[in-house]
A = this chain, B = another copy of it.
Amino acid sequence: MKTKILLDENDIPKRWYNIQADLKKQVDPPLNPKTKQPIGPDDLKVIFPMELIKQEVSRDRYIPIPKEIREIYRIWRPSPLYRARRLEKALKTPAHIYYKWEGVSPPGSHKPNSAVAQAYYNMKAGIERIVTETGAGQWGSALAFSTRIFNLKCRIYMVKCSYEQKPYRRILMESWGAEVFPSPTKLTNVGREMLKKDPTTSGSLGISISEAVEDAATHDNTNYALGSVLNYVVLHQTIIGLELKKQFEIIDKYPDIIVGCVGGGSNFSGACFPFVRDKIIGKKPELKIVSVEPLACPTLTKGEYRYDFGDSVGLTPLLKMYTLGHTFIPAAIHAGGLRYHGDSPLLSKLTKDGYMEAVAYYQNEVFEAAMLFARTEGFIVAPEAAHAVKAAIDFARMCKHKNEKKIIVFANSGHGHFDLSAYDAYHNKALQDYKHPKELIEKSITNLPKI
């Protein structure tokens, strides 16, 4: 009885899966915020390389992964699929629980799956420098790692309060050679403007995005990189789901329930889209696919499906997605990667169309689940991933109640080694379950979808 289902390095998928090829109706296109007309490649090429712009709009079902990217993936991929037997035993559930573990990458999360690709395409396009923003620091550290591998310069605008609260994430990025600045900075017009208004501001992801975009747009040989939401980011992350499918083939099983946390949606979309295809084409109509989000930022469970800006300031194209409004400021929960007002347009549409469902939790119950996981399976997961753990445990409990031997798999997006202060707060009963405006939580939405 194996604990891990491993694939050989030569089984690293050679193509990403593009779900746009299988949508019955495409997502509504991004709009230029001024003209309200669909944007074209020309609007994007100031800050993105053409190869990524092509991927953003491609309808090809499979897109080849260049050899140079696969060479870097070999450092940690294929990532292991674990059977969580000790957790099952603790829950006394007849269900089988599996998890796909992305914590094995050098930056410790799924983020380098796309960061490596983005650094590579920029390098190929002759770009010498990439700028980005980071909140909790997962994306920033993935991009710092990836730009170093391809010998690009990297600058990261890190939200000031995170910069101050998470020095280890900052040091990690610097160890890979990136410049990291607490944002807002005096380096950009946006930053200077913000500092003039409020010299003591703690910053926000929206401001940092604006600084990074301005930096990229105003410097030669410099592009911008984004770690979630966009179609091509989701595309790169399908390496997770493609491996997962192969791993289930090896053990001759197929999941009944797939669970993952959703901030911008890249990790979970990557893990589940190859399975969503089976639902779309009618091969697996009964498959349950469930996003998990914090009640403090309940985009899919409580947001509206409409056009909105990707950033807080309102500089980006308008995207059709589930959103809480681009000015929504979520409470300061520890799962920083889930504090985003919107969602991937692809994941939003598939949720809208009924292929996927969503649940939301308070953070104390999420940390309680992460503790049970740590004490049975051993790994300390990131607060983001802990949301998926919680839902997987709840489904396993439901299986116990109904005496059903379902196969549950969750996307375990990364380790929590740089988030231990959150665990400390949980141990000390200092974690708040943030309440939100009444209209957002008028009824409990922690009830799981029926299985």
> Hey, which bits of chain A sit against chain B, CB under 8 A?
2-4, 6, 8-10, 71, 74-75, 86, 104, 106, 108, 145, 148-149, 167-168, 171-172, 174-177, 371, 374-375, 377-380, 417-418, 420-421, 423-424, 427
Given contacts A3-B9, A106-B380, contact A176 B375 (CB under 8 A): yes
Q: How far is the CB of A322 from chain B (nearest CB, A)?
A: 33
A377 to B417, Cβ gap below 8 A?
A: no
A424 in complex: contacting residue of B171, B420, B421, CB < 8 Å:
B171
B417 to A418, Cβ gap below 8 A?
A: yes
| Bound Cα distance A168, B166 (Å) | 12
| Bound Cα distance A315, B413 (Å) | 47
| Bound Cα distance A324, B148 (Å) | 41
| Bound Cα distance A10, B427 (Å) | 37
A171 surroundings in chain B (CB, below 8 A): 420-421, 423-424, 427
| Bound Cα distance A2, B9 (Å) | 7
Given contacts A375-B177, A380-B106, A421-B171, contact A2 B74 (CB under 8 A): yes
Count of identical protomers in the assembly: 2
Q: Interface of chain A, helix or strand or loop or mixed?
A: helix
| Bound Cα distance A108, B416 (Å) | 12
A417 to B168, Cβ gap below 8 A?
A: yes
Q: How far is the CB of A208 from chain B (nearest CB, A)?
A: 22
A371 surroundings in chain B (CB, below 8 A): 175
B106 to A104, Cβ gap below 8 A?
A: no
A4 surroundings in chain B (CB, below 8 A): 9, 74
Q: How far is the CB of A68 from chain B (nearest CB, A)?
A: 12
A10 surroundings in chain B (CB, below 8 A): 2
A176 to B3, Cβ gap below 8 A?
A: no
Most chain B CB within 10 A, of A6, A10, A171, is at A171
B420 to A378, Cβ gap below 8 A?
A: no
A427 surroundings in chain B (CB, below 8 A): 171, 174-175
B380 to A175, Cβ gap below 8 A?
A: yes
Q: How far is the CB of A272 from chain B (nearest CB, A)?
A: 25
Most chain B CB within 10 A, of A10, A71, A168, A423, is at A168
Given contacts A175-B423, A423-B175, contact A378 B145 (CB under 8 A): yes
